Amino acid sequence: MNVRPDQLPYRDFYRILLTAVGPRPIAWVSTLNLGHLNLAPFSFFNAISAKPPLLGFSPSLRQVDGLSAPKDTLRNIRESGEFVVNVVTFAVAEAMNLTSGEYDPSVDEFALAKLTARPSQVVRPPQVAESPVSFECKLNRIIDFGTEAPSSSLVIGEIVCVHVEESVMNEDRLDPDSLDLIGSMGGTQYSRTTERFDMKRPELQRP
C-alpha cells in the first residue's frame, strides 16, 4: 500500500505517522504565566543540537469554540521566553498522562497530578521534582507551520541548565537502566526503555 498525505483524511495519516515514528521521547514541559503553573506532555520532541545545546518540541493548535487557538504551553513560552523540559520515567507515567488533559489555563497541573514544583536555577518556570532530569531552556525561536488547527509550531529552546539526580548517575555518566524512560507509540500505547541491545559501529579500514 502506498498513501499520500493529501489523499488521506487527516486523522488517518496522523495515526500512521504517530505509530510508525516511534517510540518517541516525551517532553514534559513546565511553563509559568502570571503566577499560573502549567505542565503538559508533548511527544513530537527530540534533541536537536549539542553545540549550541538545543531541544525542540512541537505543540499543535487546538479548537476552542470553533476557532484555532494555541495551547497554554505555547502561549506561555511566547510571553515569557522560558520553559523546562522534564523527562518522563515509568514511575511518573500516570502523572504525566493526567497532565495531558485540555484544562483551563487557571488549572495548576502540578497540583492536579500531586507533583512537586522544584525551583529552577536560571529560568522562572519550576522543574518537576519527580523527574530525574530537567532541562532549563531559554527560547531560541518558534517556527509556525500554519494558523489553523491541527497545524503546529516548532519550539526550539537553548538549554541553559540541566538538573540530574544523583540516583540516575553511574560514576560520571547517566545510567539508562536507572532512568527507565518511556516513549510514545501512538494512541494510548507507550513503551519502556529497559530492554536494550548493543551494536558497534563498523570500523572502516583506511588505506
User: Along the 207 residues of the chain, how does pLDDT read in single tens digits?
Assistant: 898 999 999 889 989 998 999 999 999 999 998 889 999 999 999 999 999 999 999 999 887 877 888 899 999 999 999 999 999 999 999 999 999 999 998 999 999 999 999 999 999 999 999 999 999 999 999 999 988 888 899 999 999 999 999 999 988 899 888 899 999 998 899 999 888 888 999 988 877
171 sits in the region (left: phi over 0; alpha: psi -120 to 50; else beta) called: left
pLDDT of the residue at 135: 98
- The pLDDT value recorded for residue 59 is 95
Angle made by CA atoms 36, 41, 42, in degrees to the nearest 5: 125
Report pLDDT for 89.
96
Q: Identify how many contiguous H helices and E strands the chain contains and give both numbers.
A: 5, 15
Q: Report yes or no: 85 and 77 within 8 Å, Cβ to Cβ.
A: no
Cα 45 to the center of its chain, rounded Å:
5
* Residue among 127, 145, 139, 146 at smallest CA distance from 84: 127
- Using the CB atoms, write b or e for 139-162: b if 16+ within 10 Å: bbeeeeeeeeeeebbebbbbbeee
Give residue 201's identity as a one-letter amino acid code.
Answer: R
> Count of residues for the chain?
207
pTM of the model: 0.93
**Cell numbers that stand for 55 in this block:** 531541544
pLDDT given for residue 84 in this prediction: 98
